[in-house]
Structure 1
Amino acid sequence: MRDVLDHLQRLGMSGYEAKAYVALVAAGGPVNGYEVAKRSGVPRSTVYETLGKLVARGAAYEQRGPAGATGYLPLPPEALLDRMRREFDGSAEALRTALPAVVAQPEGHPIHDLKDGEAMLARAEDVVAGARRDLFLSVWPEELRRLGPHVRAAAERDVEVSVVSFGDPGEDGAGRVHRHRYSAPEAVLDELGYRLIVVVADRREAVVGGFGDGTAWGIYTADPAVALMAAEYVRQDIALQVLAEAVGAEEIDRLFAADPGLLRILGRA
């Protein structure tokens, strides 16, 4: 019940309106304001005002009884949800045209901190959902479980998706998925001490951050230079995985060991 009320409020109903609507749906027939107040917990002093708002938005209807008493019936849930979806889609489409006309030109490319895991994954979902041409991800299965449905949706709308996964992505992967085997994920985690996440859309916006020891931190940026560097990081890491698969990890190790310059760049000298 709590989830139902929360979702109705997210779709625009007040707390009292959500409670009154649920009470009407659960009643199975017309009920008066007194019954709605008793069933829903909406105060009697405000229940008729609340029912009036539901009627005004088309979520409930008045029914006159034989003695002139007023009962209330809900708009059936499926019809209500269809109406809300139409209204939301219509508003979103109107805002798509109207909002850019009032947006001031930014003085610089936006960048902001992401102070916890929920904020970081929610912003990463935004980046994935906004991709139109290409999408690069360097991610661990723990975070890919959250992002997977959005990544699959991007692939389905013909975004070119490239993923490097530090572990088995299972069914959460989409597009071109490369397992990070060189170095092994366990070795990477031991060296860094946290799970790095990089998500880049169209090489114009990116989320970069880390998860470790019960904490998470990161940034969002729409600086195209930073987004390009993040995309190149993922592309180079994918290229290394493909090369290791083609010639073998031992051959890569031999080449590194024979070249002091490569060892120095890798921090192993």
Structure 2
Amino acid sequence: MSGYEAKAYVALVAAGTPLNGYEVAKRSGVPRSTVYETLGKLVSRGAAYEVRLGEAGVGYISLPPASLLDRMRREFDQSITTLSETLPEVAAPAEVRLIHNLADRSSLLTRAEDVVAAARRDLFLSGWPAELEPLKPLARRAQAEGVDVSTVVFGEDPDPVGHTTPHRFSSPQVALENLGCRLLVVVADRRQAVIGGVVNEDAWGVYTDDPAVVLVAVEYVRHDIAMHLIVERFAADDFESFWTSDPALARLRADHGAAATLLRKAGAPGGRGQG
């Protein structure tokens, strides 16, 4: 509705009884010069009806708000259904792969929600509870619709979603020190991904549907899960000894904190324009 139409409709709803054009103009603030044109548009929309007021002429009464909202919802759903059927038919095949930067926490999480909502077969999540929490409603809906959800969480999560694996190799504090940020990875159907990092309330990140990057993101999460499944076969003391003293692992961990150093050099902790 236009502003005048909305004001006139609200005046009719509030009155609860038929009003003539003069009364609608007086109660709504719609100019008298345009009130009958405005009411005519409401009538044509089916949001109001003309009624006879005897010798007083014509009055107007609103369609009840619940009925109007139901009608709008049906029309909206019908439009979405039509678009979902027709737009894919006219869409040209992708000629380039997308990758774009996400420069703050809000845009990072909003784009991550888009990816979660797009999942139809499988969904991989890895992150800290602070970033995973906003994604849970959509992830739970996806799971209810048959999507296989796999989650790795750094830290305590009393309300996990999907097949959740708590990260146990390093504490969240040590992981944060190594990475320099709270790393978030979200992958849907192995077709699109959001990868980003959060430092306090600043963030950086990327969205991509590039198959190579998406593959690396999927394998990052799958590798973490697989390692934890293997660890469960060890006795706790045996694994601790292996994890801290094995020479091959020691070599891989010799760059302790290197990722955080690189991010600091790049200015990523400020989250300003990094991707």
> Any gaps of 5 or more consecutive residues in structure 1?
1-12
Q: Which residue does 1:153 correspond to in 2?
A: 141
Pick the aligned partner of 1:84 from 65, 72, 79: 72
Pick the aligned partner of 1:112 from 84, 100, 118: 100
> Any gaps of 5 or more consecutive residues in structure 2?
258-275
Q: Which residue does 1:182 correspond to in 2?
A: 169
Measure, in 2, the Cα distance between the counterparts of 1:204 and 1:34. 59
Measure, in 2, the Cα distance between the counterparts of 1:249 and 1:46. 79
The 3 A distance-change label for structure 1 pair 19 and 263 is farther
The 3 A distance-change label for structure 1 pair 33 and 147 is farther
1:60-87 CA deviation, whole Å, 9 max, x = no partner? 2222311353333222222222212211
1:214-248 CA deviation, whole Å, 9 max, x = no partner? 22222211122211211111111222333444436
Measure, in 1, the Cα distance between the counterparts of 2:109 and 2:242. 38
Pick the aligned partner of 1:58 from 33, 42, 46: 46
* Partners of 2:108 and 2:204 within 8 A in 1: yes
Q: Which residue does 2:228 correspond to in 1?
A: 241
Q: Which residue does 1:224 correspond to in 2?
A: 211
The 3 A distance-change label for structure 1 pair 65 and 133 is same
Alignment of 1:165-180 (within 5 A): 165-171=153-159, 173-180=160-167
Measure, in 1, the Cα distance between the counterparts of 2:53 and 2:101. 59
Greater than 6 Å deviation, 4+ residue runs:
none
TM-score by length of 2: 0.81
Measure, in 2, the Cα distance between the counterparts of 1:249 and 1:18. 67
Alignment of 1:26 onto 2:14: yes
Q: Which residue does 2:62 correspond to in 1?
A: 74
Q: Which residue does 1:204 correspond to in 2?
A: 191
| Higher RCO (CA < 8 A, seq sep 6+) | 2
Deviation at 1:99, TM superposition (A): 1.0
RMSD: 2.6
Aligned residues: 256
Deviation at 1:135, TM superposition (A): 0.5
The 3 A distance-change label for structure 1 pair 268 and 119 is closer
Deviation at 1:45, TM superposition (A): 4.6
Alignment of 1:25-44 (within 5 A): 25-44=13-32
Measure, in 2, the Cα distance between the counterparts of 1:114 and 1:47. 47
Measure, in 2, the Cα distance between the counterparts of 1:97 and 1:78. 29
The 3 A distance-change label for structure 1 pair 226 and 69 is farther
Q: What SS class does the counterpart of residue 54 from structure 2 fall into?
A: coil
Q: What SS class does the counterpart of residue 247 from structure 1 fall into?
A: coil
1:31-84 CA deviation, whole Å, 9 max, x = no partner? 334444444444545444433333222222222311353333222222222212
* Partners of 2:105 and 2:201 within 8 A in 1: no
Measure, in 2, the Cα distance between the counterparts of 1:114 and 1:48. 49
Q: Match for 1:142: what amino acid?
A: A
Measure, in 1, the Cα distance between the counterparts of 2:131 and 2:25. 44
Measure, in 1, the Cα distance between the counterparts of 2:114 and 2:73. 20
Pick the aligned partner of 1:128 from 116, 129, 138: 116
Q: Which residue does 2:242 correspond to in 1?
A: 255
Measure, in 2, the Cα distance between the counterparts of 1:186 and 1:39. 61
Q: Which residue does 1:7 correspond to in 2?
A: none
Q: What SS class does the counterpart of residue 93 from structure 1 fall into?
A: helix
Q: Match for 1:197: what amino acid?
A: L
The 3 A distance-change label for structure 1 pair 194 and 38 is farther
The 3 A distance-change label for structure 1 pair 61 and 137 is same
Measure, in 2, the Cα distance between the counterparts of 1:223 and 1:183. 30
Q: Which has the larger radius of gyration?
A: 2
**Mean Cα displacement is larger for which, 47-56 or 223-232?**
47-56
